Amino acid sequence: MGDLSTMLATINAVLWNETWILIIAGTGVLFTIWSGFLQYRALTHGPKVVRGVYDDPNDPGAINHFQALSAALSGTVGLGNIGGVALAIALGGPGAIFWMWIVGFLGMSIKFVEVTLSMLYRNTDDPDNPHGGPMWVAGRALKRMKPELGWLGTALAFLFSFTVMVSSGTGGNMFQAWNVADVTTEYFGVAGWISGAVLTVVVGAVLLGGIKRIGKVAGTLVPAMVLIYVIAGSYVLFANFGQIPEMLGLII
């Protein structure tokens, strides 16, 4: 295990370091300026999209806007805004929150551009089973811009798909399943393998149902998850209201 940890640390030092953080943040600055600070404009447009103001049953796609948003949020509520934030504060101190604010603001523009490009270059030959994402953007956009770069787009698409599979299996499934197993064991005395088996069956049943079942399940569960998160977060803030100024001072 020691050799494995050393190997993973070496790989991680290449794949994820300060240089990549600066590149990602710089990309966010570029997209923010390029889009005319869409983070501000999306505050009014986004809720209308989620409420279904622009929904058209004749448009291509298997799920509606709200279900798509719920499916996207399902992987971030908990792992991202609870587990990830707690880990960042534990490792970097209160000041880590400031940089999460900055990166979160810039990340809005990156996500907007990414999703927009994914919509433009997605494959809707089968309306009930659409295909899209950065891999399709890389494979199609470069070939459309310069046909001689088609091979590069295909290579990037395969590379992205491979890394996403690795990420979803480790940082996604394994880390989240471990979190659930740890909590159920600590507070309810349920063995980890039992909660893992239950998760496998439930998640497998959802995934095998295709994008429509994923959208339906996410559209039902995620709003409740978000509501519980907001209520719990608000309770913590009100319960420690007098310490908020000092907390902001520590963050800054």
Quick one: pLDDT at residue 194?
92
Q: Which two tokens stand for residue 135?
A: 């891999």
Q: Which residues pair with 123 in a beta bridge?
A: 131
Cα atoms found within 13 Å of the Cα of residue 154, Cβ hemisphere only: 6
Quick one: pLDDT at residue 110?
92
Residue 59 backbone class (left: φ over 0; alpha: ψ -120 to 50; beta: rest): beta
User: For 106-157, what is each residue's pLDDT tens digit?
Assistant: 999 998 898 889 888 988 887 777 788 899 999 898 888 888 888 999 999 9
User: For 100-116, what is each residue's pLDDT tens digit?
Assistant: 999 989 999 998 898 88
* CA separation for the pair 93, 58 (Å, rounded): 50
Quick one: pLDDT at residue 163?
87
123 φ, ψ (degrees, to nearest 5): -105, 120
Does residue 99 contact residue 17 with C-beta atoms inside 8 Å? no
Quick one: pLDDT at residue 14?
82
Question: What's the helix, strand, coil split of the chain in %, to 5?
Answer: 80, 0, 15
Q: Which two tokens stand for residue 55?
A: 């929904």
Distances (CA, A) of 8 to 20, 46, 80, 175: 17, 39, 22, 16
**167 contact partners, CB below 8 Å, separation of at least 6:** none
Own/partner long-range contacts of 84-89 (Cβ < 8 Å, ≥24 apart): none
* CA separation for the pair 107, 84 (Å, rounded): 16
In the chain, which residues have pLDDT < 50? none
* CA separation for the pair 86, 80 (Å, rounded): 9
Nearest to 103 by CA among 175, 160, 174, 20: 20
Nearest to 137 by CA among 157, 107, 163, 159: 157
Nearest to 98 by CA among 233, 252, 247, 245: 252
Quick one: pLDDT at residue 213?
87
Quick one: pLDDT at residue 243?
94
